Chain A
């Protein structure tokens, strides 16, 4: 018995050590990012490195917003990601329902292939198309290409979600004389709200994070945040403070969302192995 208890303590300790080793690379990375962003320039280029900002400064953030017009890029990112996510929900939630109900596995395979295709391979033809349409230099091409990311995520998660719902309630509604649109709108959709939340968060995050579409399609005034941050790198290679501050500005909303909605995000990612781009 005593050995059993000892063994239990040992395995518990082993778990903590294992968890600590696993978490250290991520934790120390993000702490270092914070440290770089809140230190002044002298401390950032000091050797040996200064770890704790003393005193912490907001100068880097002010610098980023003043010099680089980050406010405009933030607005671009918000417009693009919100539009792409909203449109994807509008299109993808009914589509997921239809595919789940019709048991259309072929349509699901198409979505899978879209998941497999490299984002770059959409860009060459779409780039030409937008050029012909004269849309380069506006936000429209970005919103449309971001649908390549958001629509498959939403459809994929919603197929899984609607397949998991019991069909009896809708059938009862149909017997009572509702049409299939009403059965979807008033019976199935309210039940699927948790699934819609998961799909919305993930679609938003992967649209927000997208870099490659913006790099090709965005003009000077239509840059999204990731593209703008990349440009800070090319122009200010040596000033680390503003660089880290810019990086933090882009990714902070995503990190906060992940921390706050971790349960939903984990559920969605586990279900589909989704990832954008």
Chain B
């Protein structure tokens, strides 16, 4: 032991570079299974790529094809309609649920857990049960309607009711995630404004409207962004319940993408759709996040 051999003081900065070593193995895997597919998808999207045979370079032909492909354009419209409804409904219900579960009452823990179950349950499993409940003659939903004197509803068996019905399933499934994010926000709020408001004789609605809503707003916006991304990506429930039908009346972009790539094996065109889809998601997310940041600042 020489007296001079004192190790340098480990200030965080000296180590910053070496901490990358911890992330290196994960970075390799992420590069292989996440970044490689991104790049390769783009490469395929500028080729005429069927599963077998040659794959000639076609430039932007696949992208040009989309502009005149009515099936694709309708899928975009449907996706946007489905997404808008599948953001708004869960958001409203989720905020209501968050306010309810933020209050103290007996059995709150259990009630909250039951409320969260739909988002944890296997999507294929719940889709099957919904499918059985939608059955026009034997389904339990039409029976329940008949109990309150309503005529049977077509649910997923009619092109005009299929999207609203799928939005209902999506809302049932994903309102809990909105609730959890907003609940996290409400739990972090200071209590003094509420105490002051109670002294001033404010009603519950006034407190919600003028204290909870503005303070929890950033969390609501985050929940909206996450919900929107997930709604755009919705696949399992739509695939299992309708497969895009009847006809193509519930064929969203994700379903069309699947059909193009894995039913018609047109991988080049499918890849081009993926690229457009990805850009669409990124654009909408960025717009919403931009709005979010503004809201937080003001």
- Chain A interface residues (CB < 8 Å from chain B): 11-12, 14-16, 18-19, 22-23, 25-27, 29-30, 32-33, 36, 45, 47-49, 90-92, 94-95, 97-99, 101-104, 107, 110-111, 113-129, 144-145, 147-148, 151, 155, 167, 171, 174-175, 177, 180, 184, 205, 208-209, 211-212, 215-216, 225-227, 229-230, 233, 240, 243-244, 246-248, 250-251, 254-255, 257-259, 262, 265-266, 269-271, 273, 275, 277
Contact = CB atoms under 8 A, between A and B. Distances in A.
Contacts of A205: 120
Contacts of B40: 125, 128-129
B25 to A, nearest CB: 5
Nearest to B271: A124
Interface in B100-138: 100-101, 103, 105, 107-109, 111-126, 128-129, 131-133, 137-138
Q: Considering the complex of A and B, which 8 residue pairs feature the smallest CB-CB distances, nearest first? A: A98-B22, A95-B26, A247-B125, A270-B184, A125-B40, A98-B23, A174-B10, A251-B125
Contacts of A230: 124, 128, 240
Contacts of A107: 23, 27
Contacts of A266: 112, 116, 180
6 contacts: A22-B111, A26-B115, A98-B20, A111-B30, A125-B41, A250-B125
A225 B17 CA distance: 43
Which of A12, A36, A122 is most buried by chain B, counting CB atoms within 10 A of its CB? A122
Contact of B277 (A11, A121, A209): A121
Interface stretch (B57-65, B67-75, B158-166, B230-238): B230-238
Nearest to A32: B140
Nearest to A92: B26
B128 A110 contact: no
Interface of B: 7, 9-10, 12, 15-23, 25-27, 29-30, 33-34, 36-38, 40-41, 44, 93, 96-97, 100-101, 103, 105, 107-109, 111-126, 128-129, 131-133, 137-138, 140, 143, 172, 177, 180-181, 183-184, 204, 222-223, 226, 229-230, 232-233, 235-236, 239-240, 254, 257-258, 261-262, 267, 270-271, 274, 277-278, 281-282, 285
Contact of A49 (B9, B107, B140, B181): B140
Nearest to A19: B111
B165 to A, nearest CB: 14
Contact of A243 (B34, B107, B132): B132
B26 A23 contact: no
A116 B113 contact: no
A15 B103 contact: yes
Nearest to B168: A25
B29 A120 contact: no
Contacts of B137: 47
B112 A36 contact: no
Contacts of B21: 98
Given A107-B23, A125-B44, A266-B112, A273 B121 contact: no
Contacts of A45: 138
